[in-house]
Amino acid sequence: MSVPVAPGRWPVLGHTPALLRRRFGFTEGLHTYGDVVRVHLGTLPMYFVTTPELTHRVLVTDSASFGKGAMFDKFRPFVGDGLVNSGGAFHLRQRRLVQPAFHHERIARYTGKMETAVARLSGSWRPGERREINEDMQALAVTIVGEALFGTEFGRTAIEEARRSIPVVIRHGMVRALSPAFVGPLLVRGNRQFDRAVRRMRAVVGTVIADWRATGVDRGDLLSMLLAARDSDGEPMTDQQVYDEVVTLLSAGIETSALALAWLFHEISRHADVERRVHEEIDQVLSGRPVTADDVPKLTYLQQVINETLRMYPIWILMRRTLRPVRLGGVGLPAGTEVTISPHALHHDPHTFRDPHRFDPDRWAPERVKDIPRGAFIPFGAGNRMCVGNAFAMTEMAVTVATIASRWRLAPVPDRPLRVKYTSTAYPARLSMTVVPR
C-alpha cells in the first residue's frame, strides 16, 4: 500500500521548514491524510502514526519491535545512555534499578519536601506583586527534582547548574534534532552553547557523585538509591551510568513539570468557574493546613484540571525506530524505519476530544473518561517506556497548586501578554501574573 506524503515538502530540506514554521499546526493536520503519513526530515523519511489504535500498538502491544528514534541520537552527548535514550536489555536493567526510587511510598516521603519548597516560594510573594510565573515554576521544579535527587546542601551546585544548563540543552537539542544532518554543524552558536552546557553539567554532577561515593552515606535521596542499587547479578552501576541517569532525570523531570504548572495557572486564571471550583475543593480538603500525601487523591477536581492541562500542552513528538519489519495500518515498514507519534496531535484530534482547543476539565469527569480510547491520551507516553516520573510529577503538580491556591489567586497582567515559544513543546516564555491574596 502506498503511504500518503504530507504536503509542503521541499527538495533536500524535506518538510523541515514546514515543521519548524508551522510546528503544531503541521502535525495536527496529518490525520486528515491517513492513519500513517510520510514526512521527510531533510532526506530522512519518518512515518507519522495518527490514530490512537496504531499509537497503542507502537507504544504498548508491539513495543518490542521498536527502539528509540533518530531524535534521541542527537541528545546522546548530554544524556548518554540514561533511561530516556537506552534500549533493549540494558534499558530494562536500568529501569529496574531506577524505578524503586519512584515507588509510591518514596513519593509520599518527597511530598513534605515539595510542600516546603512551594511554601517557601509563595511565602516570599507580596500582595499585588507581579511575578514571572514561568520563571517561578522553573525554579520550583529545579528545586523539587534537585532536592529529591540530591537532598539539599550537597547538591546545591548541581541544582544551580541544572537551572542554567537544562533549558539551553533542551532548546538547542530540539533544533538539532529537527534539522537535517548537514545543517547540524552550521548551527555554530547553538552548538557552542549546547557543548558548553554539557561540559559544565558533566563537571558538576561528576563532583557530586565522587563526594557521595567518598562518604557512602545513605541520605534517603534518589542519588543514594542509585548508588546503592544492585542488579540481579549483584552489580552496581558504574559512575558513568549513574551520571547518565542523573542527567537524564534532571533533563526529563524539570522543564516538563514546570511548563505544565505554568500552563495550568494560566488556564485557571482565564476560567473563573474552574478557578472557583479548584479553590473550593482545596479549602474543603485542607481546611487551612499544609497539603500531605494523603490529601492528593482527595483533590479529584484538581486532578481533572491537571489532566486537561496535560492534554492541551503535552510533548510535541515522540520518536521510535523499527527493530524488525513491522506492518502498521496496512503499511509494511522495514527494520530501521523512523516512526513518529505526536501526543499533541492526538490530544487535539476532534474525533476523540470534541472542541479540542477548549480548556474543559469536565472531560475528565469519571462518567466521561471511559469514552476516551486507549492511545488517545498519552501525556506520559505508554508501555515499557512510559515516564518513570509520572506519579512524582502528578504529586508535584497537585502539591504545588494546592499550596499556592490555598493562599493566592494568580491574575493575568493585561499589559504584559503571554509570550509562547516552541521547542519539544509549547512553553510560555513570559507569563506575568499578579499575586492576589484570597
356: CB partners within 8 A, 6+ apart: 347, 348, 349, 350
Find the part of the chain contacting ligand HEM (CB under 6 A) among 178-186, 223-231, 246-254, 321-329.
Answer: 246-254
Binding mask of the shown chain, residues 131 to 150, with x at each position contacting ligand HEM by CB under 6 A: --------------x-----
Which residue in 37, 140, 237, 249 binds ligand HEM (CB under 6 A)? 249
Instruction: Give, as ranges, the residues between 34 and 73 that touch ligand HEM (CB under 6 A).
Output: none
**Packing angle, helices 255-270 and 272-286, rounded to 10:** 110
Task: Name the residue type at position 83.
Answer: L
Give the chain's radius of gyration (CA, Å).
Answer: 22
Of 259-298, which residues contact ligand HEM (CB under 6 A)? 260
Distance CA 207, CA 195 (A): 19
At residue 219's C-alpha, the angle toward residues 260 and 137, to 5°, is 15
Q: Which residue has the cell 533536500?
A: 12
Q: Does 170 bind ligand HEM (CB under 6 A)?
A: no
Strands 318-322 and 130-132: unpaired
Shorter beta-carbon distance to ligand HEM: residue 328 or 413: 328
Are 122 and 404 in contact, with CB atoms under 8 Å apart? yes
**Candidate residues 389, 402, 410, 432; the one interacting with ligand HEM per rule CB under 6 A:** 389
Alpha-carbon distance 299 to 302, whole Å? 5
* Closest residue by Cα to residue 410 from 437, 374, 428, 384: 437
| Whether the Cβ atoms of residue 6 and residue 33 lie closer than 8 Å to each other | yes
Residues 92-111 that bind ligand HEM (CB under 6 A): 95
Tell me whether residue 313 or residue 408 sits nearer to ligand HEM (CB atom): 313
Q: Does 256 bind ligand HEM (CB under 6 A)?
A: yes
Q: Of 83 and 158, which has the nearer Cβ to ligand HEM?
A: 83
Q: How far is CA 98 from the centre of its chain?
A: 17
Is residue 19 a contact residue for ligand HEM (CB under 6 A)? Answer: no
Distance CA 64, CA 58 (A): 9
Cβ proximity to ligand HEM: between 54 and 318 the closer is: 318
34, 167, 253, 361: which one binds ligand HEM (CB under 6 A): 253
Residue 318 interacts with ligand HEM (CB under 6 A): yes or no = yes
According to CB under 6 A, which one of 36, 223, 388, 426 is a site residue for ligand HEM? 388
- Overall residue count recorded for the chain in this entry: 438
Q: 10 vs 90, which CB is nearer to ligand HEM?
A: 90
Q: Which of 79, 83, 246, 401 is the binder for ligand HEM (CB under 6 A)?
A: 83
> Which CB sits closer to ligand HEM, 69 or 356?
69
- Verify binding: residue 155, ligand HEM, rule CB under 6 A: no
Specify the residue, 13 or 264, whose C-beta has the smaller distance to ligand HEM.
264
In whole angstroms, the minimum distance from the beta carbon of 359 to ligand HEM comes to 17
Residue with cell 477536581: 301
Coil, helix or strand at residue 84: coil
Can you spell out the DSSP letters for 175-238? Answer: HHHHS-TTTGGG-HHHHHHHHHHHHHHHHHHHHHHHHHHHH----SSHHHHHHH---TTSPPPP
392 near ligand HEM, judged by CB under 6 A: yes
In 3D space, the residue among 350, 148, 154 whose CA is nearest the CA of residue 257 turns out to be: 148
**Residues 6+ away with beta carbon under 8 Å from 267:** 274, 305, 308, 309, 312, 359
Q: Which three cell numbers stand for residue 171?
A: 532548546
Contact (CB, 8 A) for 393 and 258: no
Nearer to ligand HEM (CB atom), residue 389 or residue 434: 389
Please choose, out of 34-42, 154-162, 229-237, 375-383, the segment that lies near ligand HEM by the rule CB under 6 A: 375-383
Between 13 and 52, CB nearer to ligand HEM: 52
Q: Stretches 1-9, 30-38, 254-262, 410-418: which one binds ligand HEM (CB under 6 A)?
A: 254-262
Query: Of 404 and 413, which has the nearer Cβ to ligand HEM?
Result: 404
Residues that bind ligand HEM (CB under 6 A): 83-84, 95, 145, 248-249, 252-253, 256-257, 260, 315, 318, 379-381, 385, 387-389, 392-393
